[in-house]
Amino acid sequence: MKAIILAAGLSKRLHPLTIKVPKCLIKIGEISLLEYALRNFEKFGIKEVVIVVGHGAKEIERRIKDASYCMRITFILNPEYATKNNVYSLWCARSTLKEGAILFNSDVFCHPRIIQEVLNSQNRDFLVIDETKKLGKEEMKVRINFDTIKEISKEIDPDKADGEYIGIARFSQRGGLVLSKVLEEFIENQETDLFYEAAFQKMIVYHDLFKISTQGLPWVEIDDFGDLQRARSMPMKVLGNI
Quick one: average pLDDT of 35-53?
95
Residue 238 has pLDDT above 70, yes or no: no
Q: Which residues pair with 211 in a beta bridge?
A: 127
| Homologous superfamily of the 2-236 domain (CATH) | Spore Coat Polysaccharide Biosynthesis Protein SpsA; Chain A (3.90.550.10)
What are the tens digits of pLDDT across the range 54-108? 999 999 999 998 888 989 999 999 999 999 999 999 999 999 999 999 999 999 9
pTM of the model: 0.95
